[in-house]
Amino acid sequence: MGSSKDRRGAGQRRAAKVKSRRQRLAEEEAARERHTRLVVERTGDPRFVQQETFPGGRQVRWDPQTPTGAKLNEALEEQLAAFRAKFGRDPGPNDPLFFDPDADEPISLPGDAWHGALDEMIAKADQIGLDPAYLKAWRELGYVITESNQHLFSAADVQAWSDAVEKYEEDADDTDIDFSDLFDLLADQLEAAVQETLTQQSPEPARLLADHIIDGDLEILDSDEHDDEEGAPGISIAFAILAAWTSSAREELDTADLADTVLNWLTTHLGESIAALTRRAAGIIGAPDAPDLTVDQLADELGPDFIPAMLWLATGLVAEHGAGDTAWLRRYDPHTNED
């Protein structure tokens, strides 16, 4: 059972999450109210794009003088030219812009072909100076929202568009990071926690780092997307690193009393309760009395001490078999071993 300090910290984190959700709901309600006012103010105003409804459909006119409208017009110019070349005229209000090139009359592209046409535009997005996130959001949702036309859509549509654009912009940012860099950065954090555990003779550095990973506080793992599953990617990466360190060390050392030496060190320096917790995870270094559990079962049983227990194992290995040098562990970094 965790200390009262740990329980207070967990309670504070839960309270912060509840407060954050309430703020988000309040912001969403305020956004809906602003959108309602915007719809009323812009309806019929010739300065803004308007929607015309007629039997069998509707027509939306973009203002080419707005910056976004101009960019979209430029992006669509090739498609307009293709329509003119195919049918000898400009598209009318009932004509699909993305038409079936094999049909004698303008009919809509099949779904897969329409996505393909947008994919071609996405590939050229940098050339025409348009953020590909906007085109990807269009591909996903089937509509485009700008500052000039948002009053034609519902508040839910506007929010869905904003969320989609933000998602694709974040995806683009993520592609700038080499996945191996994530392992290196988190391995640095884990190695530092092992060193602090050795220096302080305390279990708390491991728990503190685990709290940061679970809460998504680390810069490389920071995200607002996980809610109750916050930190899940960080936990997976941390476990992969610690499992590689401990299992590889066991394979190299190959001594029958390996687990006993590590657990005895933990009992002496971190206390019996810590050694008992760590023993639950010590099957990875050959402890004969460790329970036969899957990783998921072990994580459920140890809860917030799952990653700390693995880190305490690594600390005992360094203390007893690595001459106290944490760099000894880094020989077993998982992505290094795959090279």
DSSP assignments along 257-272, one per residue: THHHHHHHHHHHHT-H
Interval 123-144 mean pLDDT:
75
Question: How confident is residue 337, by pLDDT bands cut at 50, 70 and 90?
Answer: very low
Q: What is the DSSP letter of 108?
A: B
Q: Per-residue pLDDT tens for 208-218?
A: 998 888 776 55
Q: Which of 89-103, 164-178, 312-326 has the highest mean pLDDT?
A: 312-326
Strand partners, 51: 60
Percent of the chain topping pLDDT 70: 68
- Quick check: 15 pLDDT over 50? yes
User: Mean pLDDT lowest for which of 125-134, 136-145, 188-197, 219-228?
Assistant: 219-228
Has residue 231 got a pLDDT over 50?
Answer: no
- What stretch of H or E contains 124? none
Say what the pLDDT of residue 225 is. Answer: 41
CB 159 within 8 A of CB 150: no
Give dist(CA 195, CA 189) in Å, integer.
10
Higher pLDDT, 174 or 131: 131
Q: Is the pLDDT of residue 338 over 50?
A: no
Q: How confident is the model at residue 333, as a pLDDT?
A: 78
Predicted local distance difference test score (pLDDT) of residue 75: 62
Least confident piece of the model among 45-59, 137-151, 190-204: 45-59
- Tell me the pLDDT band of 7, cut-offs 50, 70 and 90: low
Mean pLDDT, residues 96-109 taken together: 76
DSSP assignment letter at 222: -
Residue 63 has pLDDT above 80, yes or no: no
* Percentage with pLDDT > 90 across the chain: 22
Q: What share of the chain is helix, strand, coil (3-state, %, to 5)?
A: 70, 5, 30
- Work out the average pLDDT over 23-50: 76
pLDDT score of 274: 96
Mean pLDDT across the stretch 124-136? 73
Q: Mean pLDDT over residues 276-293, rounded?
A: 90
Give residue 156's pLDDT band: very low, low, confident or very high (50, 70, 90).
confident
